[in-house]
Structure 1
Amino acid sequence: MRTVLGAAGISLLLSLFGTPLYIRFLVKRGYGQFIRDDGPTTHHTKRGTPTMGGAVMIGATVVGYLLAHALTGTGVTASALLVLGLMVGLGFVGFLDDFIKITKQRSLGLRTVPKLVGQSLVAVVFAVLALQFPNEAWRTPASTKISFIRDTNLDLAFAGTFVGMLLFVLWAQLMVAATSNGVNLTDGLDGLATGATAFVAGAYVLIGLWQSNQSCQLVAQAGPNCYEVRDPRDLAVVAAALTGATFGFLWWNASPAKIFMGDTGSLALGGALAGLAITTRTELLLILLGGLFVIITLSVLIQVASFKLTGRRVFRMAPLQHHFELVGWAEVTIVIRFWIIAGLFVALGLGIFYAEWLVRL
């Protein structure tokens, strides 16, 4: 528990006090956000605001995790390092996207294909490695079984080991792409994606700690309601570091934002959440925990499908948060109400997680 608290505290302080230093660095370099002319006119005042702030959250999360382990004398685990690696890898793809936007002064960074290729490569490496590194109980960080609260009977390895690994890689790619792009679409208003991510990351702290206390690796707890997760306690440490980093960054990212996370942050945060879901065996539960991201992503899909099929738009603008801006809602009002929705989804997800355990008693 000391490692969990240490990771959260260290990453919070690093993010809180490191962000203003990073802002000065970006301002000195002239790395400001490019604002689309076809977006809400209220956003034009944000032109030039420092971006790529996600680098601070990535650094704070990684350093917070490692330093907490060093101070408590505990060892790192394969599951945690894989999640952090996924976060850093996607953050690098996002950094390239942001850097191109800044240097070329355009709203489009990496082209669609190179960006998807980059995300896919990172996801493939994560997925392949996640099926390696068995512990003494022969549990690997991930499983070929589709999971909800825990692994279900739907095993992707039904047709053999190689096919199972291939299908799992595709499944992991889908999860990583959906989650990272979902956070990316949500990142349109000051503090919106950062606050929503903090809610979900905090939920994974609780999930990891609960799974650790009810682990099948503890003989006294072995039974039908135990969890077959390789490193639940250390995954809680990663989630705690991520939670602290997002809260520290939110201090400067809240309206009026002094810095934006950029794709560097949104892709990295989404990747971290996907990695936590896969390694804690709660893949489908992430749909509930990240319900706000799902709704916002669906608004884009509905808008595109409606316009292509009927020539009409369902929303004044997609993603959904911009629709409410054009309706007349104040930015802060939208952010707070969407945070409430995000919190309710997290509460629902945690409630179902706990209820499933009670049913098994």
Structure 2
Amino acid sequence: MIFLINKYLNFKTFTFISFRIIFSLLTSFFINLFIGPYIISYFKKLQKFQVIRTDGPIKHFDKNNTPTMGGVFIIISICISTFLYCDLNNIYIWYVLAIILGYGLIGLLDDYKKIKFNNSTGLKISYKFFLLSIIAIFIIYIMYSEKNNNISIELIIPFYTSIPVKINYFYVFFSYFVIVGTSNGVNLTDGLDGLAIMPVILLSFGFGLIAYFSSDINLSSYINISYSEKANELSVLCGAIVGSGLGFLWFNTYPAKIFMGDVGSLSLGGALGIISILLHQELLLLIMGGVFVFETMSVILQIIYFKIRKKRIFKMAPIHHHYEIKGLSEPLITIRFWIISFILLLLGIISLRIHDAV
């Protein structure tokens, strides 16, 4: 939209990347502030309340009357800001939007089934993974087709100063696990008020910086990251995610007025996964998104250990519930996870220029 305005009115200032990043962030933030109360009120009238796990912490039953599916207005604000400020001729934007909308629909179906049948199960895990996989594989296929089947792909190794590693055909499978894994990692983390959205905001901010630097051949060389002319528009989209996340956090802080639901967590996680692939920063995602990795691994370890030893490592998984059952307050757990996320963001940024110290 902003490029269309410039075409007819010649407002070149509006097309500057810094302008578009800031206004994309502010627009998505204020959209959420405006539509949030209406959506919360509407979902309350429809009785679209969060279904609480029967085997979860007892305190969570106090949240029975809290609306869910708040990810709907997250997606709305991201899409509006993207259409307003991004160059829609950039194919990278459509890859990310396809994941956001596709995974959002799967999450919406999952949330709807939970509410309709009044249980916390929703879609069967196998069916959910199948749907997530179909979309991820489809997007990956299009990405490689657009590159004329050139599957020699770079993998940037953080803290490593040599040239990027070529992993060729393995990259196809690796990309799949990044998208689906990140999506489910955010989904598992979304268990306490405000817990998942702040790491999403910080990670989006970090990727926004990298996207901005990647689109400049001099900056990308200086920071030792892959140069990509198309990456600049990802910084605008990341700005939209940051702004939308902050706007959602306005209503999601303890005590939450609304939860994002699977419609929000699956779409945001998938978006972060595809952005990391487009920037060739999949391993950096593991560092900066360490909270999601930590939460996911706690579930995997709990399942494996229980099957082998018939005992549990944690009182409950994901691990934030473990600390909750041990007696830590929900806000305390959430803030500490935020602090960890911020530290991991700094470590990720440092890793880009670690060779200065060598």
Relative to the length of structure 1, the TM-score reads 0.88
Distance 2:88 2:308 in 1: 55
State the partner residue of 1:102: 115
Q: How does 1:275-314 map to 2 (within 5 A)?
A: 275-314=274-313
CA contact (8 A) 1:40 1:326 kept: yes
Q: Matched residues in 2 for 1:10 and 1:131: separation?
A: 33
Q: In the alignment, which of 164, 174, 178 is matched to residue 177 of structure 2? A: 174
On the 8 A contact 2:224/2:352 being kept in 1, the answer is no
Indicate the residue corresponding to 2:157 in structure 1.
148
Q: Distance in 1 between matches of 2:125 and 2:149?
A: 37
Q: CA deviation at 1:151?
A: 7.7
Q: Following the alignment from structure 1 to structure 2, what is the Cα–Cα distance between the partners of residues 272 and 151? A: 27
**Residue type matched to 2:109 in 1?**
L
Paired residues of 2:214 and 2:229 also in contact (CA < 8 A): no
Q: 1:215 to 1:29 in 2, by over 3 A?
A: farther
Q: How does 1:19-98 map to 2 (within 5 A)?
A: 19-69=36-86, 74-98=87-111
Counterparts in 2 of 1:41 and 1:233: CA distance versus 1, 3 Å: same
Instruction: Tell me the residue number matched to 2:266.
Output: 267
In structure 1, C-alpha distance between the alignment counterparts of 2:276 and 2:79, rounded to whole Å: 18
- Please tell me whether the aligned partners of residues 79 and 230 of structure 1 are also in contact (alpha carbons under 8 angstroms): no
Letter in 2 for 1:172: S
Q: Give me the whole-angstrom Cα distance separating, in 1, the residues matched to 2:225 and 2:173.
A: 28
Equivalences, count:
338
Cα distance, 1:223 vs. partner? 8.7
The percentage of counterpart residues that share the same residue type is 35
Contact 1:214 1:226 in 2 (8 A): no
- Name the amino acid aligned to 1:337: R
Structure 2 partner of 1:161: none
User: Against the structure 1 CA distance between its residues 215 and 155, is the aligned structure 2 distance closer, same or farther, given a 3 Å change threshold?
Assistant: farther
- Aligned partner of residue 240 in structure 2, secondary structure: helix
Deviation of 1:169 (Å): 3.4
Give the secondary structure class of the aligned counterpart of 2:214.
helix
Residues 108-187 of structure 1: matches in 2 within 5 Å? 108-133=121-146, 144-148=153-157, 152-156=164-168, 164=169, 167-187=170-190
CA contact (8 A) 2:71 2:263 kept: yes
Q: CA distance change for structure 1 residues 55 and 103 in 2, over 3 Å: closer, same or farther? A: same
Q: Judging changes above 3 Å, is the alpha-carbon distance between structure 1 residues 55 and 224 closer, same or farther for their aligned structure 2 residues? A: closer
Instruction: Name the aligned partner's letter for residue 268 of structure 1.
Output: S
Deviation at 1:168, TM superposition (A): 3.6
1:200 paired with 2:212, answer no
The whole-number CA distance in structure 2 between the counterparts of 1:223 and 1:46 is 49
**Distance in 2 separating the partners of 1:82 and 1:146:** 19
Native 8 Å contact 2:216 2:227 kept in 1 = no
Within 2, Cα distance between the matches of 1:224 and 1:289?
Answer: 17
Gap runs ≥5 in structure 1 = 157-163
Partner in structure 1 of residue 333 of structure 2: 334
Paired with 1:144 and 1:187, the residues of 2 have a C-alpha distance of 32
Matching residue of 1:190: 193
Assess, with a 3 A threshold, how the Cα gap between structure 1 residues 81 and 148 changes in structure 2: closer, same or farther: farther
Show CA shifts across 1:176-232 (max 9, x none).
11101110110000000011111101111111112123369xxxx879946332412
Shift of 1:139: 11
Q: Tell me, yes or no, if the aligned pair for 2:215 and 2:229 is still in contact at 8 Å.
A: no
SS in 1 for 2:200: helix
**Contact 1:76/1:234 (<8 A) preserved:** no
